[in-house]
Amino acid sequence: MYVAYDGEEALEQVKEVDPDLIILDLMLPKMDGLEVAREVRKTKDTPIIMVTAKDSELDKVLGLELGADDYVTKPFSNRELVARVKANLRRQAAPSSSDDQNEVTKDIEIGDLVIHPDAYSVSKRGESIELTHREFELLHYLAQHIGQVMTREHLLQTVWGYDYFGDVRTVDVTVRRLREKVEDNPSHPAWLVTRRGVGYYLRNPENE
């Protein structure tokens, strides 16, 4: 484990050490956690858990929008933090399992949207779309269950890997990020649809 005491030092350590996971405090001297997350996301897909003493919706949303995978609000228990760390590491390690077994997974085509599970990538009309690890996991899971409405709690448990410690707003923010990247009009999504009061589902516009 490596510890940094300000944002600039944190960025240097990320470059030198290439950690498996980053626990990032929002309130850092020299460069705050939001800026560190933004810089890390330019080159790395390392899971980031944002730690904040602020119970502000804006801080949480900003952290997730800038690429954090998860967040915890102070004060929190060691049990909660360990659960989130394990869940994020487990999800990050998941892609390698099919490679180890030399399995080939078919691409999933949903109209103009194509999900490439083996390459862990997504394209629309032939153009590659840059997604974070969590965004891809969520889109891929919904594509495997196309047309099925999934509750936020279910998505939190299956995609994030935990339920008790989760905050369903994490799902909402990730869905919004996904829409901004894959939809032609995020305000009127064609693929990633909300079922009000229930959750989300993925649909194929060409079948409707």
Calculate mean pLDDT across residues 76-100. Answer: 73
80 plus 107 within the same structural domain: no
Query: In the chain, how many domains are there?
Result: 2
Buried b (16+ CB within 10 A) or exposed e, 62-94: bbbbbbbbbbbbeeeeeeeeebbbebbeebbee
Assign 113 to helix, strand or coil.
strand
Assign 201 to helix, strand or coil.
strand
* Domain range enclosing 123: 102-208
Query: Domain boundary at 76, 93, 110, which?
Result: 93
Query: Domain boundary at 93, 116, 150, which?
Result: 93
Question: What is the average pLDDT value for the chain, to the nearest integer?
Answer: 85
CATH number for 110: 1.10.10.10
128 plus 198 within the same structural domain: yes
Model confidence at 104: pLDDT above 60: no
61 plus 133 within the same structural domain: no
Query: 191 falls in which pLDDT band (50, 70, 90)?
Result: very high
CATH number for 34: 3.40.50.2300
For residue range 112-152, what is the model confidence (pLDDT) as tens digits? 999 999 888 999 999 999 888 889 999 999 999 999 999 99
For residue range 17-61, what is the model confidence (pLDDT) as tens digits? 999 999 999 889 999 988 999 899 888 888 899 888 766 666 777
Query: 100 falls in which pLDDT band (50, 70, 90)?
Result: very low
Residue 127 DSSP class:
E
44 plus 137 within the same structural domain: no
Model confidence at 96: pLDDT above 60: no
